[in-house]
A = this chain, B = another copy of it.
Amino acid sequence: MMDRRDILALTALGTLALGSGSRANAAAITPDTASLSLHGRQLHVLDLTHKLTQAFAFTPGRLSMEAVQGSGSKVGMALNRVAIVEHTGTHLDAPRHFAPDGASVGDMPISQLIVPLVIIDIRQKAGKDRDARVMPDDIIAWERRHGRIPAGACVAMLSGWDPLAMMARYGRMSPAERRKSPGFDAAAMDMLMKRDAKGIAVDTMSLDAGESMPDFPVHLAWLRSGRWGLEGLTNLDRAPASGGILFAGVAPLDQATGMPARVIALY
Interface residues of A (CB under 8 A from B): 8, 11-12, 29-34, 36, 38-39, 41, 43, 45, 47, 49-54, 61, 65, 68-69, 71, 75-87, 89-91, 96-100, 106-111, 113-116, 214-216, 219-220, 243, 245, 247-262, 264, 266-267
A94 to B43, CA, bound (A): 25
In the complex the two chains form, is B51's CB within 8 Å of A252's CB? yes
A243 to B41, CA, bound (A): 12
In the complex the two chains form, is A69's CB within 8 Å of B11's CB? yes
In the complex the two chains form, is B249's CB within 8 Å of A51's CB? no
A89 contacts across to B, CB distance below 8 A: 251
- In angstroms, how far is the closest chain B Cβ from the Cβ of A234? 11
In the complex the two chains form, is B80's CB within 8 Å of A264's CB? no
**Copies of this chain in the oligomer:** 2
Q: 29 A-B residue contacts at CB 8 Å?
A: A29-B107, A31-B109, A31-B110, A31-B111, A33-B110, A36-B115, A38-B267, A43-B245, A47-B110, A51-B106, A61-B81, A71-B100, A75-B214, A76-B98, A77-B219, A79-B86, A79-B97, A82-B82, A82-B86, A90-B251, A110-B264, A114-B264, A247-B249, A249-B249, A249-B251, A249-B264, A250-B262, A251-B261, A252-B262
In the complex the two chains form, is A106's CB within 8 Å of B252's CB? no
In the complex the two chains form, is B53's CB within 8 Å of A257's CB? no
In the complex the two chains form, is B87's CB within 8 Å of A52's CB? no
- In angstroms, how far is the closest chain B Cβ from the Cβ of A151? 11
A253 contacts across to B, CB distance below 8 A: 52, 82, 260
With beta carbons under 8 angstroms apart, the residue of B30, B77, B87, B98 that contacts A97 is B77
With beta carbons under 8 angstroms apart, the residue of B36, B108, B256 that contacts A116 is B36
